[in-house]
Structures are given as C-alpha cells and as structure tokens.
Structure 1
Amino acid sequence: MRLPPLIAVRFFEATARHASVRRAAEELHVTPGAVSQQVRKLEDFLGCALFERQPRGLALTAAGREYQTACAEGLAVIGHATTRLVSTRRRQVVVVSCTPGFAVQWLVPRLHGFLQQHPDMDVHVGSTNRAVDLAAEGVHFAVRHGQGRYAGLQSEVLVADDLVPVCSPRLLAPRRTARVADITSARLLHDEHRGDWRLWCEAHGVAGVDCEGGVVFAHSNAAIEAAVAGRGFALVRRALVQQELEARELVSVHCKPLATPLAYHLVYRPEALIDPALRRFHAWIVAQGSAGQSSLSI
C-alpha cells in the first residue's frame, strides 16, 4: 500500500473544506505559507492538480473533489480511534507555575470549577517565587508578579486590582470599622513585596509608622493567614482575599486603595495555544481573571 504524507493530507483536507488557505491556516495554527507548501507537496506526490487557482480563491478539480471525500472519511476514522485510545490511556495535563500566595489565595480555590468542566484534564500547580524556564522545565503557563515584560513570551494581565490594608474584625473590638489610625509599626504584616507598606504610607501621608517594623513572611498567603488570626494588618490585592472579606474573616481599612503599576500576569510561549487542551485552560483562566475584576468594580 502506498500512502501519501499524512500531514499534507490533513492540510489539504482543511483547505478543501474551507476553500481557503488562510482559513485552513487559522484552524491548524500555522502560517498560510506552510499550508500552501504541504498542498503542493501532496499534488507532486499524486502527480495531478487538486485545486484550480482562481482570481477569487480556490476551486477543487474533479480529482480534488474525489480525493477530498476519501481524505475526510479517512481522517474521521483516525480521529475517532485516537480519541477513544487517548481518553482511556492518559489524561491531558496542564502544568502551571505561580507564587505560593497566588496558588493558595486565587488559583486553587477556582480550579475545582475548571476540573468539573473538563474531567479529562489534570492541572499540576508548581509554587515558587523564582523565574522558571518554561521550555526547559516543561511548564505550560506561569503567573508572575511584575510589569509583564518577558522576552520571547506572551503576557496577559490576570489580576491588577489595587492594594488595600486588611485585618481581622477581632483586632478592632469593640469597633467594627478599621481606620488608618489603627495601623502601627508593630501591627504591619509584610509579604515578599516588602516595599508596599512604605508606598502606602507615602500615598496616604501617614507619618510615625516605621515601615520596616512588624513581621515579614516569605509568602503573601502566610501574611493573610496571620491577618485572619488577628496578628496585624496585611496589605494585599482585594482579589486575593475576596472570600475572606465576604465571610467577614477580614475587613478592609476605610481608605483609598493604593494603585500600583505591577500586576499578576499570565505568561506562556506563543506556540502553547496550538494545543486544544492548553487553549481551553487559557480561555478559562483569562475569563476567571476578567470575572474577578468585574466583581470588584461593582
């Protein structure tokens, strides 16, 4: 049995179905030039033209119409067989790297919904503050805190709300309202972004507070846990403590939030979205970020 180059067959079938090189390229996530090259390769192999190149587009030749029918049927059979084997033998895995605080406070609480929607997929979360090499370490997506400039990588803003001081209501008893005057040096809870309290004090004209005072934690989730326990004030993004605020485990200080040029960004290699499973996760996590910002603005 003599078989043609199967990748060329796939590119031809998509081009014939769309009657367009450009639309086939969009479906296959390659360039139009790559599609044209594979179609010409198949025509050379078969020794006949499959398309008539017309001024307004492509039209199948008689041989092309006959061959398209056979190719579509063959690819459908292969596709169904592949789906059955893959679904029974392995699960699709998405590898995500993020800081420990972001993992605990934002990502993991939301993941249950994604996994319910996609029971054939697993998400592996690696928590670290160091910069990871996505290609070398097999990481599909990273969430990083910064200005979003990463050479050779795609970057999208995920969480960008302003910073607010929060504390436990127990720290305020018998009052229930947190005031700027309640914040003292000894009550400061710092996370890995230690300079945030200094910026907040400067923005609000707060004097007499030693911004180096208080307790320093390696991760923001530890600072938030300390605030819930009534140990002091943590300066955090509201999106990371939305559940605690709704449950009244934390209350925010009545003051203007601190705007910052930094944000949590979703970072990935441009070719990552070729994979349908990774595209599903990307669409989900971006939607979660947008929904969170919308709920905070209400």
Structure 2
Amino acid sequence: MTYALPPLNALRAFEAAARHLSFKLAAHELHVTPAAVGQQVKALEARLGVQLFERLHKQLILTPAGQAYLPGISEGFRHIADATSQLKPAGTVLLQLGAHGSFDLRRLDLAAFRSMHPAIGLRVLQPAGLHELVEGKVDLLIARSLGHHPGYRCDRVNEGPGVGDWVIAPEGTADCPEIVSFRAWLRGLPVEKALASRHPRLVGMAGS
C-alpha cells in the first residue's frame, strides 16, 4: 500500500506551530528560523489546497481545517516516536555530536567517554557545521568560530582569545543531562558536580 503523505518536514512545522500557535516558538523547538517554519506551512497549505492558519497581527489562529487536521498529525507523530523508542536499548539516550572538518576527534577520547557513560549513545557526524545544528541533524556542535551565536549556548573548548573551537548547543537543550555530561567531559570536570548544579535528581545517570 502506498501512502499519500505530504513532506515530513512540512508536517513537523505545522504540528509544532499548531501546538504553540507561534511560528517563532515552533522554530525554536525545531532549531530552524521562523521564516522556514512559515514557508513549510505555506507549502503544506498549497499542497493540501486548504488554509490551516489565520495569520493575524502578532497572532496565529488555527482554521477549522487546521483544528481538524492537528489531532491526526499529532497522533501519527506519537506512534512514530513510540515505534522508534522501542528500537533503542532500555535506558539509552542518543547524543549526536557534530564537529568541523579540521577538528581532531582523538582529542576527545570518545571511547573512554562511551565507556564511562553507557547510558549515553554517542554518534559523531564530521564534517558538520551550523547548518547541521540548525536543521537538527546534530544535538551539539564543535565549531571553529568566535563563539557568538544568538539563541545558542557557546562554551570554549580551548583557552585563548580570537577564533577557537567552541561547543555550541541550542539554549533550549543546552542543559540536558547528556549535553551537560559531554561538556563536563571536555572541560575535565567531575560530571557529578556539573550535573548537580542543574539536575540534582539525574546525577546517577552520569555515572551509570
């Protein structure tokens, strides 16, 4: 059976915008720009031949068609998420790390990190840049830059002024336990101490 489905990215943009009733908040969740969310929704409306939102001044309202469409789309994403979670080993959190092409990954001793943090499934994409971070292909990024990116937390890997290597993560997810653990690993700090300041209930995860 062949399913007649609109593009997945357009459906994700609609579902997030409909939940938040905001292109800006949907963009923050999806790590893209509000303009990109708006374009995806507009393309979806054109494909379906119906208007899903009323775009008022500083206000987004679902049309009757949008209200009818949302529950089924949200339920579909929940089924996909549930099916995906069943493929993962119990207790494993996936952390996708990107790194610029000239960064020497041997500096990180990733095998030792994986050994110390079996609850974190670490995957690496190299080369990767801000585009991959914005598109959600990686959760955090080691980038060669000046470390100034609005909406993102930037932590310097090496000391010194000017251009350097920075760990960059969206502000909304920068304090997730797995990202805190990796940031602490880079700094050579005890992970338990770094986690305790933000997630006292999750300290055990770092050492499990």
Report if TM-score (shorter chain) is over 0.5: yes
Q: Report Cα offsets for 1:110-132 as digits up to 9, x if no partner.
A: 962xx15xx251478xxxxxxxx
**TM-score under structure 2 normalisation?**
0.58
CA-CA distance at 1:109 after TM superposition: 8.1
The 2-side partners of 1:31 and 1:151 are apart by 21
The 2-side partners of 1:33 and 1:69 are apart by 24
Partner letter of residue 79 of structure 2?
Answer: V
Contact map agreement 2:114 2:122 (CA 8 A) in 1: no
Match of 1:77 in 2: 79
Match of 1:47 in 2: 49
**TM-score under structure 1 normalisation?**
0.42
Candidates 18, 31, 34, aligned match of 1:16: 18
Match of 2:127 in 1: 135
Q: How high is the sequence identity, in percent, across the aligned residues? A: 31
Match of 2:136 in 1: none
CA-CA distance at 1:46 after TM superposition: 1.3
The 2-side partners of 1:79 and 1:47 are apart by 28
Q: Using a 3 Å threshold, how does the CA distance of structure 1 residues 290 and 35 change in structure 2: closer, same or farther?
A: farther
Contact map agreement 1:134 1:141 (CA 8 A) in 2: no
Matched, 1:97 2:105: yes
Higher RCO (CA 8 Å, separation ≥ 6 residues): 1
The structure number with the bigger radius of gyration is: 1
CA-CA distance at 1:53 after TM superposition: 0.7
Partner letter of residue 144 of structure 2?
Answer: Y
The 1-side partners of 2:95 and 2:179 are apart by 13
Matched, 1:150 2:158: no
The count of aligned residue pairs is 161
Contact map agreement 2:45 2:51 (CA 8 A) in 1: yes
Partner letter of residue 41 of structure 2?
Answer: V
CA-CA distance at 1:7 after TM superposition: 1.7
The 1-side partners of 2:113 and 2:44 are apart by 50
Candidates 262, 285, 297, aligned match of 2:182: 285
Superposition CA RMSD, Å:
4.4
